Structure 1
Amino acid sequence: MSSHPSPSPAAAVDAPVGGVPAPRRRRLPGWTGNFGWQIVAALVLGLVLGLAARSMGHTPDTPTALGETLALIGSVYISLLKAAVIPLVFFAVVASIANLAQVTNAARLAAKTLLWFAITSLIAVLIGLAVGVVMQPGVGTGQSAPASYQARDVGWLDFLTSMVPANFAGLTVKTTVDDAGAVAASPTFNVLQVLVIAIAVGVAALKVGAKAEPFLAFSRSVLAVIQKVLWWIIRLAPIGTVGLLGNAVASYGWSTMGTLAKFVVAIYVGLALVMLVVYPVLARLHGLSVRQFFTGVWPAFQLGFVSRSSIGTLPVTQRVAERNFGVPTGYAAFAVPLGSTTKMDGCAAIYPAIAAVFVAQFYGIEMSLGQYALVVLVSVLGSAATAGTTGATVMLTLTLSTAGLPLEGLALLLAVDPIVDMGRTATNVAGQALVPALVAKQEGILDQARYDAERVDIMGEDEEEIVEARAARVTDSREELVGTPAVGPRG
């Protein structure tokens, strides 16, 4: 991590989605500023407590008090995250689509943006599958498939029909009967159905025009409230990490956790290939400086790494796109928020691809070509299931269930989720800032002078100060070249 001061995540989530207000200067509280170290401490503590529970004889069949406590802490944290998914998907997508009203040639820009989201996701998921097959992180565990697992053929028609909303809320109720005959009903949400509903509502609001403004204002307000609640949940990540990692160590033992180390390495190899190869190549193919891409995206990259939340980093990512990359404000206000919920090269492409291969290898299951193809399809179309939250629990569940792989692997991978999620989220936000720059460059609306300008602290200066500083620097450099005054870049 850099030694330079990072923007406060708390300040970031205070900014509205639809615009980029002048930043407020804040001193970083010690608790917030040391969030990364809290995660490290939580990993160590979770490992120690898990080994302690294991030494006391904890197993899934013979649980101990310490092991059950760790499991409870981890499950509560995951439940909190999952509870925020549905409202985040709906209101973030609706607000993002509504921002198209501020953009010239909105339909063309939206189509190109979504196309580039799909292209980069496709590249990332193919890299993930290749890394999983080559590195084989889950091979050699000796584990057999869970007793409840039943191999099944996964049909394309079933997957496509599951995206059609059964009701307006995308809600289904699953009824179960226990051995005593008691009936229990548990409601679940189909996230892809919620995404379809949100897109329909957003487009309808865009078509209605002025009459929909009260609804859109309400949607933006609700989204801001949800983001604040989400940040509170994110702040509990160190506690959740203790429970998740500790429970995994206690349940599976250290030898199995060693396999997870190979999984973590495989994830970061895949992320590095996307971040250090794919993104620079795309920037260079569009005539953009690779060095300026890395220096410009750094504020969002480092905050995404620490906060582990694309939506929590959203205001900073949007500010990077506008002030460092020169993307017009109206277009950035649509593309970046939409990207924070639907463009997840780390969480929804690299991670589920490698995770699916890992789970299959861990349980000795041979994946078919059809299962590989479904992983690709889910990664390209189902990115919104991650909803920009910390962790990719929903996306991983969607991928494993669609590909017909054991969901028991989910609990195992959650043990190391805090470690891989840092790199995943940082890669996510880098792509969310890059794609709008690529589209703006293609459409001839990118402020090239701003993209190429010397970097300033976009989180520590007001907009007018940034524009004046850049204009002065560009003017000075031009005067040195031609000896006459010149007009600086646009504000």
Structure 2
Amino acid sequence: MSKQSKLGLTSKILIGMGVGILFGLALRNFFPGSAFIQEYITNGFLHVIGTIFISSLKMLVVPLVFISLVCGTCSLSDPSKLGRLGGKTISFYLFTTAIALTIAILAAVIIHPGNASLAGNALEYTAKDAPSLSEVLINIVPTNPMQAMSEGNMLQIILFAVIFGFAISHIGERGARVASFFNDLNEVIMRVVTLIMQLAPYGVFALMATLSLTLGLETFESVVKYFLLVVAVLFIQGLVVYPTLLKLFSGLSPLMFLRKIRDVQLFAFSTASSNATLPVTIETAEHRMGVDNKIASFTLPLGATLNMDGTAIMQGVATVFIAQVFGIELSIMDYATVVVTATLASIGTAGVPGVGLIMLAMVLNQVGLPVEGIALIIGVDRMLDMIRTAVNVTGDAVATVIIAKSEGEFNEETFNNSQAGKAAKSFEEQVLNSK
């Protein structure tokens, strides 16, 4: 087979996505209400394949975050540089989240997607208790780092990894030996990522087929304006705001960036999880975009936990939508409260599917709106969750490139080379295929 005819990973994922959707729709239309399809195909074969794929990605998250952050932090031996990098990263993430919320609220107020007649159709929805800001801050510090790792508490893992890496960088020769060990571990983890990526087209096929079989299309009819408005604002954030910030702060080509971020966006869309996509994001930032490991290994794990612009957009539009449905007028102060609350709520929001609804409950409580309104949008939230996760990881990557450029830890030649990273991946695929 010639090189030209060999499909790349992006093409395979797109084919898997398309075939999965068509397969699911075909089964749904030709075998409506079939118990066999439900039990053996949807909840059997497809569920097993999709779950294995998601689990294989999630199993890398904790070791990848911990090891990469230790490597990134111990390479920043200057405390002032570590503080500067952390300050830049968090400030940029909060800045873009505030922009996302402002656009979302303005769009919802102008378009007015809410219809008061829908309130009577609201289903009962019991939201889990969202943590208060004080609880979030207290829970950042782990009482047991091992427990934090076993439970996947990302904020606690991040804090412990930063402290651990900082300590390594300040104990001289012994620290250098430990740092070398962690750098070797990081290479091993990235090779595991390469192996797991070979499952991606099959996992995406199963996930999209399941979605096509289970998504209730009738739900779209009642909240179609809400759905389309959220999608529109997500596209504005992903295709207008981020490229503009990239060009403004770094001078780099937004088109080249969008071209190289496609694999990451497809993974995020398929998994609806920023954390599960993290291995792909880190590999793309380093090998395709030219970001130095010490920056990518610090900003991207932080972004997977702190930077939730897509989720913030959903919360902004949903808050206004629910207020309109229930005929409740929100004041300027209420809108300001939504922006501040949702921005702060993004700190500590887990990068896993569906968590946005939990944080939305907290935002609604802050402005006195009925939490039961979440029932109106829960039917379409799965699809929106997939799109907003793609926006979340795009924001992480933009911030990483901008910060790396400002710190002088960026290879612009690699960024501008459309083939950068592809040769290495082809070699790795050859090695895998030869075994």
Q: What's the TM-score, normalizing by structure 2?
A: 0.69
1:144 is matched with which residue?
A: 123
Corresponding letter in the other structure for 1:41 = V
Contact residue 288 and residue 414 of structure 2 kept, 8 A: no
How far did residue 167 of structure 1 move?
0.6
Q: Give per-residue Cα distances to partners, 1:259-282, cap 9 Å, x unaligned.
A: 589647624533433542354256
**Structure-2 residue corresponding to 1:349:** 308
* Contact map agreement 2:307 2:396 (CA 8 A) in 1: no
SS at match of 1:354: helix
* 1:435 and 2:403 are equivalent in the alignment: yes
- Structure 2: how far apart are the matches of 1:352 and 1:131? 16
Change (3 A) 1:191 1:337: closer
C-alpha distance in 2 between matches for 1:241 and 1:137? 32
Residue 135 (structure 2) pairs with residue 158 (structure 1) = yes
Select the residue among 420, 424, 429 that pairs with 1:459: 420
Q: Distance in 1 between matches of 2:94 and 2:302?
A: 13
Structure with bigger helix share is 2
Equivalent pair of 2:113/2:226 in contact (CA under 8 Å): yes
Listed one character per residue, the Cα deviations across residues 415-453 of structure 1 (whole Å, up to 9, x for unaligned) are 56555555554443233212322x34xxxx599xx9699
Is the contact between residue 307 and residue 392 of structure 2 (CA under 8 Å) also seen in structure 1?
A: no
Query: What is the deviation of 1:72?
Result: 4.6
Code of the aligned partner of 2:257: V
Question: How many Å separate the matches in 2 of 1:106 and 1:244?
Answer: 42
- 1:118 is aligned to 93
For residues 195 and 203 of structure 1, the distance between their equivalents in structure 2, rounded to whole angstroms, comes to 12
Cα 1:72–1:460 change in 2 (3 A) is closer
Number of equivalences: 390
In structure 1, what is the Cα distance between the partners aligned to 2:196 and 2:207?
A: 15
Partner of 1:337 in structure 2?
297
Deviation at 1:165, TM superposition (A): 0.9
Separation of aligned partners in 1, 2:107 and 2:54: 26
Aligned to 1:465: none
Where does the alignment leave 5 or more consecutive residues of structure 2 unmatched?
269-276, 366-370, 424-435
Which of 348, 356, 368 is equivalent to 1:382?
348
CA separation in 1, counterparts of 2:162 and 2:362? 22
Match of 1:488 in 2: none
Cα deviation, residue 92, structure 1: 1.7
Cα distance change, pair 394–83 in 1 and its aligned pair in 2 (3 A) = farther
Separation in 1, partners of 2:393, 2:81? 28
Matches of 1:112 and 1:194 in 2, distance apart? 19
The one-letter code matched in structure 2 to 1:273 is Q
Deviation, structure 1 residue 456: 4.6
Structure 1 counterpart of 2:429: none
Describe the superposition over 1:314-348 as per-residue Cα deviations: whole angstroms up to 9, x where unpaired: 344335665xxxxxx8xx43223322222359x94
Q: Distance in 1 between matches of 2:358 and 2:60?
A: 16
Change (3 A) 1:451 1:150: closer
The equivalences for 1:294-313 within 5 A come to 294-298=254-258, 300-308=260-268, 309-313=277-281
Structure-to-structure mapping, 1:3-402, within 5 angstroms: 29-30=6-7, 32=9, 33-51=11-29, 54-56=32-34, 64-69=39-44, 70-101=46-77, 106-107=81-82, 109-127=84-102, 129-130=104-105, 133-134=108-109, 140=118, 142-146=121-125, 149=126, 154-171=131-148, 188-256=151-219, 263=227, 266-267=230-231, 269-277=233-241, 279-281=243-245, 283-284=247-248, 286=249, 289=251, 292-298=252-258, 300-308=260-268, 309-318=277-286, 322=290, 332-343=292-303, 348-356=307-315, 373-379=340-346, 381-382=347-348, 385-386=350-351, 392-393=352-353, 396=356, 399=359
Aligned to 1:325: none
Q: 1:177 corresponds to which residue?
A: none
Letter in 2 for 1:212: G
TM-score for both structures, normalised by structure 1? 0.62
Query: What does the per-residue CA deviation read over 1:446-488, in whole Å, with 9 as the maximum and x for residues that have no partner?
Result: 99xx9699955462899xxxxxxxxxxxxxxxxxxxxxxxxxx
The answer as to whether partners of 1:35 and 1:306 remain within 8 angstroms in 2 is yes
Q: Secondary structure at the match of 1:30?
A: coil
- Provide the alpha-carbon RMSD of the alignment: 4.7
CA shift in 2, pair 1:199/1:393, >3 Å: farther
> Measured at CA, do residues 73 and 321 of structure 1 come closer, stay the same or move farther in structure 2, by a change above 3 Å?
closer
Say whether the 8 Å CA contact 1:260–1:416 is kept in structure 2.
no
Where does structure 1 lack aligned partners over 5 or more consecutive residues? 1-25, 173-186, 323-328, 387-391, 463-491
Identity of aligned residues (%): 15
Change (3 A) 1:247 1:372: farther
